[in-house]
Amino acid sequence: TSTPDTVLQVSALLPGLERELSARYRTVRLPELPDAAGYLRDHGSDVVAAVTSARVGVGDALMDALPRLGAIVHFGVGYETTDVVRARARGIDVSNTPDVLTDCVADLAVGALIDVMRGMSAADRYVRAGGWDGAPFPLATRVSGKRVGILGLGRIGRAVARRLDGFGMEVSYCTRSPVPGVGYRHVPTAEALAEACDALVVTVAGGRGTEGLVSAAVLDALGPEGYLVNVARGSVVDERALVAAVESERIAGAALDVFADEPNVPQALLGSDRVVLLPHIASATRETRAAMGDLALRNLRRFMTEGVLLTPVPEASRPAH
Ligand code: NDP
């Protein structure tokens, strides 16, 4: 007797995507199982594909409980929550949803940059609190023409840079290897980049390779006139060092869409007008989320019919070692 091929939904997903999964495949929703461990023990070998959010991924123990797993489909572009090298070694392919979210994430990064430099969210609070007829709102910092450092000039970083060109900003960037064919200045380290700019926009990949990349030293290099924007991952910034730098005014301000321990935001930042705090919404538009769901579904469909993914992550094509 052959085992029924099952799609395991590892985390909560968009309602529309969940509906499509259940309509098209024998789908089991892991978070809704009363006895997940029991299910994995008795039926783990039914599962041929897993669909999950970028935030949750597929951990090592879950991977081990699914001996026939052939594909991990992430809803999102970051996939540091899944150990891709380990997956490859087990013959599991991994996909993400690149490109379709790039514009919206870049839009939000630029919006956040303008917000923190011009004090827009703080000004909104000032108006709502009835402050307008009292002391004038403090002067802000000019945005156009300033120097911006982009940490990670990938799809999103480049889309941010293109937008900033329109503001007459001078863009430089830091990546491990210079990006061919771009006119922006490559700077070899995050610290040198921070030193050379008025605002540092973080768009690198997350994961172990970039953990704490924006260190206390980088924040000090950014300096008391410098602004930080992070739309990448909370793990990239040493959050304690950031809180200290904001509190002691060693940097001018920060706009953050991502945090080290979401949804927990450091208490010390909540009362500060020097920071803009966003609940990880950079890709969260109806249009982009629908496109991400569609791309995740197309990856799954391709795998279920042809055994290959449509947008495998780069590591997935490297030989395992
Ligand atoms: P890409 O893979 O296209 O870009 C990643 C960039 O990071 C590359 O330029 C890479 O260059 C650079 N990079 C990686 N490691 C380092 C390092 N140690 N030092 C300097 N640069 C480094 O990814 P995307 O642009 O599509 O996405 C970027 C990230 O944005 C995602 O990984 C995700 O974490 C985040 N994101 C956040 C969202 C949100 O909701 N806030 C939504 C979508 C994405 P090189 O390899 O040459 O170093």
For residue 201, which of 180, 177, 222, 217 has the smallest C-alpha distance? 222
Can you read off the two tokens belonging to residue 61? 């123990």
The ipTM value here is 0.99
Task: Check if 78 has its Cβ closer than 6 Å to any atom of ligand 1.
Answer: yes
Residues in the chain: 321
CA distance 76 to 99: 10
Whole-model pTM? Answer: 0.96
Residue 151's SS3 state is strand
Phi and psi angles of residue 225, each rounded to the nearest 5 degrees, phi first: -100, 0
What distance in angstroms lies between residue 75's CA and the mean position of ligand 1's atoms?
Answer: 16
CA distance 301 to 311: 12
What distance in angstroms lies between residue 257's CA and the mean position of ligand 1's atoms?
Answer: 15
Contact 179, 186 (CB under 8 A): yes
Contact 231, 257 (CB under 8 A): yes
Contact 56, 15 (CB under 8 A): no
Task: Specify whether 262 is catalytic.
Answer: yes
Substitution candidate for ligand 1 out of 53, 77, 189, 229 with most atoms within 8 A of CB: 77
Q: What is the pLDDT along the chain (321 residues), one digit of tens a residue?
A: 567 899 999 999 999 999 999 999 999 999 999 999 999 999 999 999 999 999 999 999 999 999 999 999 999 999 999 999 999 999 999 999 999 999 999 999 999 999 999 999 999 999 999 999 999 999 999 999 999 999 999 999 999 999 999 999 999 999 999 999 999 999 999 999 999 999 999 999 999 999 999 999 999 999 999 999 999 999 999 999 999 999 999 999 999 999 999 999 999 999 999 999 999 999 999 999 999 999 999 999 999 999 999 999 997 444 433
